[in-house]
């Protein structure tokens, strides 16, 4: 038969009642035995302890590409399906592009024509115009010099009285006209060399650049009809089928790089303040409780406006593909850790209303003495003691609440769990 032991306070009261009854029956005063309280205790140990933050997180692929076409056209052919592994640059789909191919041919012809015109203008037309102008200058100079000789000769004859003034004036007019033609020819030549030649080259160069741009634009549109993957990964979504219209700006396919996974969790600001990039963490996957090692990769510097928490990212490798984007996992993050320190069970700590923390230390006299302690890291199974205790001290873990300072105690060993069926 199993008996349930009364709580410590009730046992102390029963002892006192028994003592009083004994005195009353004997009629003599007898020394009351010192009350003894049964408690459970633990030894202060030196070991490692960690401050662990436990929360949940949602999994995301580290790299994800939502592939959107830049042109609208029906899908001519898909080269991959959902679940297909792909490489960066691999051709995933082709849109119908017969009109684009024709536009490329047309633009290519215009570009070749512009190249020929540029060569003609720079190598033939402009040099020919300059050469013509130079010949014109030479001819007009010769004519001007010939008319000047005639005028000077007639001027001498007129001064000698051999010819009339009318002949002298005719030769003078002819000389002035020839001189003007010469000056115009020189100005035209200089204009061709300074301005006309440059303008002609600019016009030819501009026409060639415009034709080249149209040709490249046509080639780009043709290339847009070929849908290629920007990253290595796996096709996770492909909403259209061959023959359906692909619309510019609407997702045609999604590729995710599942080789590395990022778990995004939300942590209270006071906890996030203890975290740093590179801190170790553990992801707990599903009902199987498979544990996967991870590390903190991002600690957001700003609060989430909806939850007033900070987002923390944990990154890990996913070689076996067991981590699925979109699923929820448990998270344990080691914020701080100490390798060799004094540790007591959390149940041994007593917190006073004013905030002081103490424990009940069992002395060699088997009396419990309240002792103030300074704590550090508090883990799930124990708390770091910075001062107040020594290794090997015994502290009360059960029965300390309400236990008077200096009370005599008896240490009770924890009851081992029974095996088998009890009758």
The per-residue DSSP string of 311-373 comes to: EEEEEEE-TT--S-TT-EEEEEEEEEEEEEEEEE-GGG-EE-TTS-EEEEEE-TTSBEEEEE-
Q: What are the tens digits of pLDDT across the range 47-81?
A: 888 888 889 999 999 999 999 999 999 999 999 99
Q: How much is the pLDDT for 61?
A: 94
As a whole number, mean pLDDT of residues 82-92 equals 94
pLDDT digit string, tens, across residues 323-349: 999 999 999 998 887 888 999 998 889
pLDDT at 330: 93
The mean pLDDT of the chain is 83
Q: What pLDDT was estimated at residue 230?
A: 94
DSSP symbols for 75-139: EEEE---TT-EE-TT-EEEEE--HHHHHHHHHHHHHHHHHHHHHHHIIIIIHHHHHHHHHHHHHH
List b or e across 262-282, with b for residues whose CB sees 16 or more CB atoms inside 10 angstroms.
bbebbbeeebbebbeeebebb
Q: Which of 31-35, 256-260, 377-381 has the lowest mean pLDDT?
A: 31-35
What's the pLDDT tens digit per position in 105-139?
888 888 888 777 777 666 555 566 677 777 888 88
Phi, psi of 201 (to 5 degrees): -65, -40
Q: Which of 159-168, 235-244, 391-400 has the highest mean pLDDT?
A: 235-244
Instruction: Please compute the mean of the pLDDT values over residues 8-17 and round it to a whole number.
Output: 43
CA 77 to chain centre: 33
Instruction: Between 343 and 16, name the one with better pLDDT.
Output: 343
* Residues ≥6 apart with Cβ < 8 Å to 194: none
pLDDT of residue 193: 67
pLDDT exceeds 60 at position 401: yes
Query: What local confidence, expressed as pLDDT, does residue 244 receive?
Result: 94
Q: How far is CA 188 from CA 84, 136, 199, in A?
A: 72, 9, 14
Mean pLDDT of 90-101: 92
Give the angle 324-319-68 at the CA atoms, nearest 5°.
55
Q: Is the pLDDT of residue 141 over 90?
A: no
> Could you report how far apart the first and last alpha carbons of the chain are, in Å?
10
Lowest-pLDDT range, 129-133, 180-184, 197-201? 197-201
264-284 confidence digits (pLDDT tens): 999 999 888 888 899 999 999
Proportion of the chain above pLDDT 90, given as a percent: 35
CB 45 within 8 A of CB 343: yes
The candidate with the shortest Cα–Cα distance to 290, out of 266, 320, 264, is 320
pTM: 0.57
Q: What is the pLDDT of residues 347-382, one digit of tens each?
A: 889 988 888 899 999 988 899 999 999 998 887 778
Predicted pLDDT of residue 134: 78
Amino acid 19: pLDDT: 46
Q: Dmax over Cα atoms in the chain, in whole Å?
A: 188
* pLDDT mean over 147-152: 86
Q: What mean pLDDT comes out for the span 194-202?
A: 63
Asked if the model's pLDDT at residue 199 lies above 70, the reply is no
pLDDT at 125: 52
Q: Which tokens hold the place of 181?
A: 């033609």
Count of residues in the chain: 423
């Amino acid at each position: 038969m199993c008996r349930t032991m009364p709580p410590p306070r009730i046992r102390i009261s029963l002892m006192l009642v028994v003592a009083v009854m004994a005195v009353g029956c004997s009629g003599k005063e007898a020394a009351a035995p010192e009350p003894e309280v049964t408690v459970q205790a633990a030894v202060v140990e030196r070991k490692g302890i960690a401050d662990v933050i436990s929360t949940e997180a949602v999994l995301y692929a580290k790299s994800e590409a939502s592939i959107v076409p830049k042109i609208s056209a029906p899908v001519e052919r898909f080269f991959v399906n959902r679940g297909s592994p792909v490489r960066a640059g691999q051709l995933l789909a082709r849109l119908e592009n017969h009109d684009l191919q024709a536009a490329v041919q047309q633009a290519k012809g215009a570009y070749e024509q512009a190249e020929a015109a540029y060569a003609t203008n720079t190598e033939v037309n402009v040099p020919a115009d300059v050469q013509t102008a130079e010949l014109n200058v030479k001819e007009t100079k010769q004519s001007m010099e010939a008319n000047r000789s005639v005028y000077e000769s007639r001027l001498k004859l007129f001064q000698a009285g051999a010819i009339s003034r009318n002949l002298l004036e005719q030769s003078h007019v002819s000389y002035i006209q020839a001189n003007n033609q010469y000056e115009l020819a020189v100005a035209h030549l200089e204009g061709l060399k300074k301005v006309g030649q440059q303008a002609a080259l600019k016009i030819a160069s501009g026409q060639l650049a415009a034709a080249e741009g149209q040709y490249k634009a046509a080639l780009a549109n043709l290339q847009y009809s070929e849908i290629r993957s920007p990253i290595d990964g796996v096709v996770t979504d492909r909403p259209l089928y061959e023959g359906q219209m692909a619309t510019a700006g609407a997702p045609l396919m999604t590729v995710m790089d599942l080789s590395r996974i990022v778990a995004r969790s939300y942590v209270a600001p006071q906890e996030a303040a203890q975290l740093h990039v590179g801190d170790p963490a553990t992801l707990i996957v599903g009902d199987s409780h498979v544990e996967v090692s991870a590390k903190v990769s991002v600690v957001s510097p700003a609060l989430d406006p909806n939850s007033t928490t900070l987002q923390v990212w944990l990154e890990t490798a996913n070689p076996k593909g067991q981590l699925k984007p979109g699923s929820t996992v448990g998270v344990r993050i080691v914020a701080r850790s100490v390798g060799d320190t004094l540790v007591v069970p959390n149940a041994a700590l007593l917190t006073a209303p004013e905030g002081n923390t103490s424990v009940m230390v069992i002395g060699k006299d088997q009396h419990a003495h309240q002792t103030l302690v300074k704590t550090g890291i508090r883990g799930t199974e124990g708390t770091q003691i910075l001062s107040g205790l020594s290794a090997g001290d015994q502290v009360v873990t059960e029965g300390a609440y309400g236990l008077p300072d200096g009370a005599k105690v008896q240490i009770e060993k924890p009851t081992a769990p029974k095996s088998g069926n009890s009758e």
